[in-house]
Structure 1
Amino acid sequence: MPKQKQLVKDFLKRYHMDYENIDIEENCKIFIDEMKNGLEGKPSSLQMIPTYITVDREIPLEEPIIVLDAGGTNFRVATCYFDREEKPIIENYKSYRMPGTYGEISKKEFFETMANYIKPVLQYSKKIGFCFSYPTEVLPNKDGRLLQFSKEVRVKDLIGEVIGENLLKTLRDMGLDGNKDIVILNDTVATLLGGKVKYPDRIFSSYVGFILGTGTNTCYIEQNCNIKKAKALVEKSGFTIINVESGGYSKAPRGLIDEEYDLQTVNPGEYAFEKMLSGKYQGGLIATAIKKAAAEGLLSEAFSKKFDKISELTAKDINDFLYYPYSKSILSTCCSEEGDDAIILYHIIDCIIERAAKLVAINLSAILLKIGEGINPCKPVCITAEGSTFYKSKLFKDKLDYYIKDYLNDKKDFYCEFVQAENATLIGAAIAGLLN
């Protein structure tokens, strides 16, 4: 092994950040135990939120539905229907600025802004599918109560409010048609549903939705009899989509650098899993590791002086270095041309992304093992994946594929396939609204 790589491995091992000592089998069992505890209403770092959304029935064809997608930046509005070939047709598409992203607004202004956005499409359907990408408690009537907003969206007195109910009331107060059936779901659930219709002629044993971008989350289809904390479901036959809220998982093996970086974030002690692998935190975690490595002499003094001037390191900065290590990127310009800085830096990044891929493999493998689906390679589990970190990270996907094959395929004889679905959130919102 080259000496630079060995130096980095030894360094990360001292801080318990090495990926090699993570046992996938052992950690899958721990993840599954947390899933079961969450489903039964016992203490767990996985919320396992029942969505009350099912996929058991056939999608009605040629029936239009209003679809909404409230994201971190944009609020998208459209209508959608499925043609006779079951192909989703999106029409009347408009994208607006997400209310609350341009300064703090009142609850009244928030819902009135949304009402005005959807006013032009109200005539097209009595049904609304609303992808609301913020932590929300889904209610048995498939509406949703807001648990929290991100820092980018600021609305007074909205926490704890029921989203669909307030929107429909606002429409009626404005003299508009508020006599609608509305279904609230999050982006991970919408992604799963969008993937379900991606290949209508293919047979999959089950479906999983996976997000790895700014943050991370997972959802899957669970038997109702296992959702013991939901009285409305546990005695009812069939299946329901579960929002795992996997970003909050706290049982993954964290290292000393994880703990040090966690203290620098705005929410120490929360979303531990997300901070180990998602795009929002990748730059900060790797920057913390780099500073520690520089302090121990793995990087040159000249590198340290230049790196100390960088106020923030992003996932894009890391990718820029990986693609163009000898360019004028932020990290490249810190490296000494004569020494081993670039090589040491590469191995630090490579090892931390390798660990992230292994953790994601644990997350996804645990779900397949829990539900017992994917044992027939001709009918794999369909994992619809979305997110910039999943698709744009130079190193991540190949590493994930390796662990999926090595552990899930070769050792456990379970099979899955990753797919990407265009406009998954809008299409998923349409499916949820039409079927539920």
Structure 2
Amino acid sequence: NEKGVFYALDLGGTNFRILRVHLKGEGGGLAAQEFTEVSIPPNLMVGTSDELFGYIVEEVLKFVAQEGEDFHPAVGRKRELGFTFSFPVMQTSIASGTLIRWTKGFNVEDTVGQDVVVKLNAAMERKGLDMCNQRQVNDTVGTLAGGRYTNKDVVASVILGTGTNAAYVECVQAIPKWHGPLPKSGEMVVNTEWGNFQTSHLPLTEYDHALDAESINPGEQIFEKIISGMYLGEIVRRVLCRLAEEASFFGGSVPPKLKVPFILQTPDMSVMHHDMSPDLKLVGNKLKDVLDISNSSLKVRKVVIEVCNIVATRGARLAAAGLFGILKKIGRDTVKTGEQQRSVIAMDGGLFEHYTEFRKSLENTLCELLGSEVSEHIVIEHANDGSGIGAALLAASHSKYCQADES
């Protein structure tokens, strides 16, 4: 019910977003929103927590300095921040979260086992950012909250970007682990952390095993390493490198840049996969610009697209299988007689938003698993900035001013 201006910091990968959102109050929706997106320098992803959070706070300060009059807080009221932190944490309250481990290429060792809200608040104090930060949420839960704010039919949320995760709304009686007070609603949000899912049934290849072994977190985030945006391009590179080594795919020698890990990014892969030109010019351009491979033949370019298609299709179909598992768990995989039960999945992340062939494959696979009758009642909605807006909404719902009024 709270209205006013709230900020959100969305830290989920190699980029982070800062948002300011003007809420109208109950039933009013969003009056306005603004955001900026900032890239994190690679050295800070493996540096110290003071360096990482100090850099982030400096960018927040720049964004606040650009605040227009319409976003100024009321007299006597501090700016309030919702913090989306999209890494595995042990969370015992909305105001704290202890980092279990880093994912998605981060390895800031002195933060593991520490409360990330405390780390951020300390950086805010050091840098002179006068802002109230007392609520932290996972990006997937934030996307779920943002989706439910505008659509009560939202039952789950999925992030498909640099990393991946899913959350859903569960009946509290179906959660045997929970021993605390029962929520009045009878429902609870379950953050699955499905990126760390692992089973012998996953279709892992030698390329996946090698990628995992050489990663900064071997043996962890296996599901994420075969379906998320950080890794798909790298898998393609490894396949192409093997073709070059064993089949002289690019000529008599292996192109040196093809041996560089992560030089081929998933956006590059997406561009090649979507190339519909007769001579596959975009594929040729990417091979030349990214891998320094010139004069590739049409036959070679067609094989490159096929490799992209295989890797993307596997990832999309596995993501759809995970989503189907959630729908089955909450009983949304069937249509009950006499009911028109609509189930909405809030989907966010650059992989889903920008990689059209990946998105199509995911949607088609989900329809295949559910069947045509059930699929008519399942809707995937793109939740643009869902995690950041959700964090701002949670900041509003836990506003210290709102709580002060109630007391």
Is 1:284 paired with 2:234? yes
Please report how far the alpha carbon of residue 185 of structure 1 lies from its aligned counterpart in structure 2 after TM superposition: 0.3
Q: Is the 8 A contact 1:250 1:272 kept in 2?
A: yes
- Aligned residue for 1:47? none
| AA of the residue aligned to 2:266 | A
Give the one of 349, 359, 362 matched to 1:397: 359
TM-score scaled by length of structure 2: 0.75
Deviations, residues 192-224 of structure 1 (Å, cap 9, x unaligned): 2222234x4xx52x4211111111111111222
- Change over 3 Å in CA distance of 1:233–1:289 after alignment to 2: farther
- Aligned residue for 1:261? 211
Give the one of 352, 370, 381 matched to 1:408: 370
Distance in 2 (CA, whole Å) between partners of 1:191 and 1:296 is: 45
Secondary structure of the residue aligned to 2:82 is strand
- Change over 3 Å in CA distance of 1:281–1:370 after alignment to 2: same
Q: Is the 8 A contact 2:8 2:82 kept in 1?
A: yes
| AA of the residue aligned to 1:331 | L
- Change over 3 Å in CA distance of 1:341–1:414 after alignment to 2: same
Distance in 2 (CA, whole Å) between partners of 1:341 and 1:113 is: 43
- Aligned residue for 2:403? none
- Aligned residue for 2:90? 137
Question: Which range moves more in the overlay, 415-424 or 266-275?
Answer: 415-424
Structure 1: unaligned runs, 5 residues or longer: 1-59
Aligned residues: 369
Secondary structure of the residue aligned to 2:136 is strand
- Change over 3 Å in CA distance of 1:409–1:295 after alignment to 2: same
- Aligned residue for 1:345? 304
Is 1:192 paired with 2:152? no
Q: Is the 8 A contact 1:135 1:149 kept in 2?
A: yes
Please report how far the alpha carbon of residue 428 of structure 1 lies from its aligned counterpart in structure 2 after TM superposition: 0.2
TM-score scaled by length of structure 1: 0.70
| AA of the residue aligned to 1:137 | M
Please report how far the alpha carbon of residue 367 of structure 1 lies from its aligned counterpart in structure 2 after TM superposition: 0.3
Is 1:315 paired with 2:258? no
Give the one of 265, 281, 294 matched to 1:326: 281
Please report how far the alpha carbon of residue 365 of structure 1 lies from its aligned counterpart in structure 2 after TM superposition: 0.2
| AA of the residue aligned to 1:361 | A
Distance in 2 (CA, whole Å) between partners of 1:94 and 1:352 is: 32
CA RMSD after TM alignment: 3.9
Distance in 2 (CA, whole Å) between partners of 1:304 and 1:380 is: 57
Is 1:245 paired with 2:167? no
Deviations, residues 394-421 of structure 1 (Å, cap 9, x unaligned): 4211211211111113386684211123
Map 1:114-153; keep pairs closer than 5 Å: 114=57, 117=60, 124=77, 128-149=81-102
Q: Is the 8 A contact 2:142 2:389 kept in 1?
A: yes
Q: Is the 8 A contact 1:129 1:430 kept in 2?
A: yes
Map 1:153-232; keep pairs closer than 5 Å: 157-165=110-118, 182-198=134-150, 200=151, 204=153, 206-232=154-180
Give the one of 271, 283, 298 matched to 2:221: 271
| AA of the residue aligned to 2:343 | V
Q: Is the 8 A contact 1:128 1:433 kept in 2?
A: yes
Q: Is the 8 A contact 2:105 2:216 kept in 1?
A: no
- Change over 3 Å in CA distance of 1:304–1:130 after alignment to 2: farther
| AA of the residue aligned to 1:314 | Q
Q: Is the 8 A contact 1:79 1:124 kept in 2?
A: no
Is 1:88 paired with 2:30? yes
Please report how far the alpha carbon of residue 275 of structure 1 lies from its aligned counterpart in structure 2 after TM superposition: 1.2
Distance in 2 (CA, whole Å) between partners of 1:230 and 1:378 is: 31
Structure 2: unaligned runs, 5 residues or longer: 66-71, 399-407
Question: Which range moves more in the overlay, 228-237 or 317-326?
Answer: 228-237
Distance in 2 (CA, whole Å) between partners of 1:326 and 1:108 is: 42
Question: Which range moves more in the overlay, 80-89 or 264-273?
Answer: 80-89
Map 1:68-83; keep pairs closer than 5 Å: 68-71=9-12, 72-74=14-16, 76=18, 78-83=20-25
Question: Which range moves more in the overlay, 78-87 or 128-137?
Answer: 78-87
Distance in 1 (CA, whole Å) between partners of 2:20 and 2:97 is: 20
Please report how far the alpha carbon of residue 63 of structure 1 lies from its aligned counterpart in structure 2 after TM superposition: 4.7
Distance in 2 (CA, whole Å) between partners of 1:400 and 1:110 is: 35
Distance in 1 (CA, whole Å) between partners of 2:39 and 2:111 is: 18
- Aligned residue for 2:342? 380
Distance in 2 (CA, whole Å) between partners of 1:218 and 1:292 is: 33
| AA of the residue aligned to 1:101 | L
Please report how far the alpha carbon of residue 366 of structure 1 lies from its aligned counterpart in structure 2 after TM superposition: 0.2
Secondary structure of the residue aligned to 2:286 is coil
Distance in 2 (CA, whole Å) between partners of 1:363 and 1:404 is: 10
- Change over 3 Å in CA distance of 1:336–1:62 after alignment to 2: closer
